Amino acid sequence: MLKFNELREGNYVFAENEGDSRRGEITELNTDDKQVCVDNGIQDFWYEPNQLSPVPITEEELTGFKFKKEKMDDGSIKYSKGAFRMMIPKESHFSAFELWYKDEKRHVPYNMAVHILQNHFYEMTKMYLNDEVFG
């Protein structure tokens, strides 16, 4: 289950319907009824937050967002997209992050989902993570 106040249009989530879970993009939010419209590639459908689950951050997800990977001497891994940087400490396996863009730096000491990364990226850069223009 995801928190409604963490969700934004453009976020990627898993939507569950009758035992079937599909990855989709949030296209609309209904703040009155606390419902989320998700396009799963086949159709748009409205969901309650308890029908949604996070997309975990993986190397494949970051590659899909056009991040470039760089292994550091200390064993940590840096992913970059334009001037946006994300450092993953050695052996954390995507369970802790350091984000920075220009002079703003954020520490995320927990396993962050894709939609949270999308939100941080937008707040820091004022661009959407899936925008090709930025990368």
Is residue 112 included in any domain, yes or no?
Answer: yes
pLDDT confidence band for 1 (50 / 70 / 90): confident
pTM of the predicted protein model: 0.91
Q: How far apart are CA 84 and CA 125, in angstroms?
A: 8
User: Same domain for 119 and 63?
Assistant: yes
Q: Does 29 score more than 70 pLDDT?
A: yes
pLDDT at position 132 is: 59
User: Same domain for 32 and 70?
Assistant: no
What CA dihedral angle connects 17, 58, 107 and 26, to 10 degrees? -30
Q: In what order do the strands lie in the sheet with 68-71?
A: 68-71, 77-81, 84-88, 97-101, 104-108
User: Same domain for 20 and 71?
Assistant: no
Query: Could you tell me the residue range of the domain that residue 21 belongs to?
Result: 4-54
User: Same domain for 33 and 80?
Assistant: no
